[in-house]
Amino acid sequence: MADETRMALAELLRKAEAEPGLDVLREGVRVLAEALMALEVEQHLGASRYERTPERDGSRNGSRERSWDTRVGTIDLRVPRVRDGSYFPSLLESRTRGERALVAVVQEAYVGGVSTRRVDALVKALGMDGISKSQVSRLCQELDAEVERFRNRPLTEPCSYLWLDATFVKVREAGRVVSQAVVVAIGVSASGVREVLGVDVGPSEDGAFWLAFLRSLVARGLHGVRLVTSDAHEGLRQAIGAVLHGASWQRCRVHFVRNALALVPKGMQALVAATIRTVFAQPTAEAARQQWRHVADGFRARWPRLADLMEAAESDVLAYLAFPRAHWRQLWSTNPLERLNKEVKRRTNVIGIFPNPAAAIRLVGALLAEQHDEWQVGRRYFSAESLAPPPQEEGPPLALAAD
């Protein structure tokens, strides 16, 4: 590694002598930054390039171009990649992409003449007086290319668990302000790492939109899904059954409890919710099923509609019981995705109304790409051993319940 760095610095000196106008400081920062990343990758993998050692853990997978904003200007870096995506350079800020997307959307609204006083204040606070359309166009094109690469990347690893949910944003379209659905899919790979698998924006959260979204995930390589957790949106559920053959469906327990509480008086809702939650505190699958039926029977005398709802939804709300006990808490609801959606809403609320659908994709896609990068270098969500498929004699997971 020292030899490679010396060679790179020697080449820099040669170029400086041959090109008097060369920005030596910026080029020197680039050379040293790339040398630092190469050293980090070597330590991360436990081996240098082409070296085979017992300690080696993974392999290189080329590099990707990334712009790095520094005090000496914007530097184009070649960032090394490893095959499992677990390396992220320590010298790069993992949160810059979303901030640039936010700036780009605010700029586009401002230049497009659709800004409000609130957006004008943001523009001034961000120091963006005198923005030109060419500056906005250049920044937006750069971000759009990054987001599209992220949204269309191949999905190579099996995905055991999948969470699906939607949130809504306001978008200006054809002279009107409309509500559009932002649908997001996250999953857990066979190695136990969470991933943002896909995101899209559409006019409504209907069955056709969900169907197209899931088919796009499969076309990119999504496979191995054993359980899908979502709310009971009918169009989404039908799309899951049509595209993800053989996968179980887990009805989010949080959404189910909300639906159940709508069937009882407000003064009794806290008691009913607490009673239903006793099911999820049971230590075994059999005890949970028995408790579910016991609770439903206890409600029947006072709230027969609630009892009927519980009876009909038993297999859907308790689908998580067919999977490892250590995974139940993460599988029985869409909470892992709800937390991500909450962060998306916090950032999109700054905009208020997006100037067009592309701007919504730009900001949300950039935020999700950042979260995906952070998950790749964070702790595993599940251990790889716990995600191994069960022995054949234990039988496959529960099939998606028929409508």
pLDDT bin (cut points 50, 70, 90) of residue 106 is: low
Tokens at 374, concatenated: 């952070």
Q: Is pLDDT of 126 > 70?
A: no
Of 139 and 299, the structure prediction assigns the larger pLDDT to: 299
Percent of the chain at pLDDT exceeding 90: 39
Q: Is pLDDT of 115 > 60?
A: no
Whole-prediction pTM:
0.68
Of 399 and 134, the structure prediction assigns the larger pLDDT to: 134
Q: Is pLDDT of 354 > 90?
A: no
Q: Is pLDDT of 320 > 80?
A: yes
Q: Is pLDDT of 112 > 60?
A: no
Specify whether the backbone of 73 is left (phi greater than 0), alpha (psi in -120 to 50) or beta: left
Q: Is pLDDT of 149 > 70?
A: yes
Q: Do the beta carbons of residue 270 and residue 262 sit within 8 Å?
A: no
| Whole-number CA gyration radius for the chain | 25
pLDDT of residue 111: 40
pLDDT of residue 20: 64
pLDDT bin (cut points 50, 70, 90) of residue 145 is: confident
Q: Please say whether the dihedral angle defined by the alpha carbons of residues 130, 132, 136 and 141, taken in this order, is positive or negative.
A: negative
3-class secondary structure, 203 = coil
Which whole-number Å values give the CA distances from 286 to 38, 322, 331, in the listed order? 53, 11, 17
Of 224 and 42, the structure prediction assigns the larger pLDDT to: 224
Q: Is pLDDT of 117 > 60?
A: no
- 319-331: average pLDDT: 94
Residues in contact with 305: Cβ distance below 8 Å, sequence separation at least 6, in sequence order? 263
Cα gap 104→356, rounded to integer Å: 12
Residues in contact with 219: Cβ distance below 8 Å, sequence separation at least 6, in sequence order? none
pLDDT bin (cut points 50, 70, 90) of residue 398 is: very low
Of 395 and 28, the structure prediction assigns the larger pLDDT to: 28
pLDDT of residue 58: 73
Most confident of 50-54, 91-95, 101-105, 171-175: 171-175
Quote the distance between the C-alpha of residue 340 and its chain's center.
7
pLDDT bin (cut points 50, 70, 90) of residue 219 is: very high
pLDDT of residue 152: 93
pLDDT bin (cut points 50, 70, 90) of residue 46 is: confident
Q: Is pLDDT of 185 > 90?
A: yes
DSSP 124-173: HHTT-TT--HHHHHHHHHHHHHHHHHHHT----S-EEEEEEEEEEEEEEE
pLDDT of residue 102: 56
Which whole-number Å values give the CA distances from 283 to 109, 271, 279, 280, 291, in the listed order? 53, 22, 9, 8, 11
pLDDT of residue 71: 54
Cα gap 327→78, rounded to integer Å: 38
Structural domains for the chain: 2-82 (no CATH), 93-251+335-403 (3.30.420.10), 253-333 (no CATH)
Average pLDDT, the chain: 80
Question: pLDDT, tens digit, for every residue of 250-309?
Answer: 999 999 999 999 999 999 999 999 999 999 999 999 999 999 999 999 999 999 999 999
Nearest to 257 by CA among 236, 272, 268, 267: 272
Backbone angles phi, psi at 139, to 5 degrees: -65, -40
Nearest to 253 by CA among 228, 286, 229, 287: 229
pLDDT of residue 221: 95
Q: Give the Cα-Cα-Cα angle 23, 28, 32 (nearest 5 degrees).
A: 155
pLDDT of residue 393: 45
pLDDT of residue 44: 76
Of 155 and 44, the structure prediction assigns the larger pLDDT to: 155
pLDDT of residue 146: 82
- 157-161: average pLDDT: 92
Question: pLDDT, tens digit, for every residue of 227-267?
Answer: 999 999 889 999 999 999 999 999 999 999 999 999 999 99
- 212-240: average pLDDT: 94
SS3 for 298-311 is HHHCCCHHHHHHHH
